[in-house]
Amino acid sequence: MRIGFFDSGVGGITVLSEALRQLPKENYIYYADTDHVPYGTKSKEEVKKFILEAVDFMAREGIKALVVACNTATSIAINDLRSKYSFPIFGMEPAVKPAVERNCSLRIMVTATPLTLREEKYQNLITKLGQAHIVDGVALPELVEYAEKFIFDKQIIFQYLRQRLSAYDLSKYGTVVLGCTHFPFYKDCFQEIFPSGTDIIDGNTGTVNYLKKILITKSLCEEGQGNVIYYSSGKEQLGNIRYEKYLKILQSNRLKK
């Protein structure tokens, strides 16, 4: 059986890329709800409906585990999904906890979609860590649209980020959290805009580490071919050219480091 990855669009490819690196012999289903992307600017009720319909489809296809590779979808529907299905379900959340643990008295910037920052799950996380006084949430919804439109021109991204971050003294931040799975596509841009030494982190590696641990614990690991079937809102994408382009960008960025 396959491991399912779900996102509103291509952001979850950043998590899938990490899974392919750590679990190269597993087989995968990647489901992008492209008919309804972006999620981060829609109502909670509307988005939950889309998520439940998509996961119902994936469950019928047969999956042994599910990664909800979308911070917004995790915030809205992870509890409903875990109540409904028996297979292990893994969600995403902004990597605020590791940011707090690494932080050296400087401020923390959490970048995400507007819906993620509004959700109770995120607010509870900040409160629980007791660091609300040093954490600033910044909504960057246009980055989702840029990624979906395959816009990776640095000049465009720099102009957008500088405009959105112009009200902040970037030298005061020790850590920037990429709290949307679309944002790691632009990690190098964040690194160039923020002062040298600023920690730019996301939750992808931690999520896949946990996925791997649970698969081993539950004896669910398999020796497959490492292939991926891609779906866009329930329609299989033959050829997979679009999604493979995104994987190549991530692999290229990894080689540059």
Give residue 167's identity as a one-letter amino acid code.
Answer: A
Rounded distance, CA 217 to CA 152, Å?
Answer: 39
**Active-site option among 104, 180, 189, 221:** 180
Whether 189 is a known active-site residue: answer no
- Cβ pair 246, 10 in contact under 8 A: yes
Both tokens assigned to 178: 């990429």
The single-letter DSSP state of residue 136 is E
Quick one: which H or E segment has residue 134? none
Give residue 54's identity as a one-letter amino acid code.
Answer: A
Whether 70 is a known active-site residue: answer yes
Give residue 105's identity as a one-letter amino acid code.
Answer: S
- Cβ pair 8, 75 in contact under 8 A: no
**Active-site option among 70, 104, 189, 221:** 70
Active-site residue numbers?
70, 180
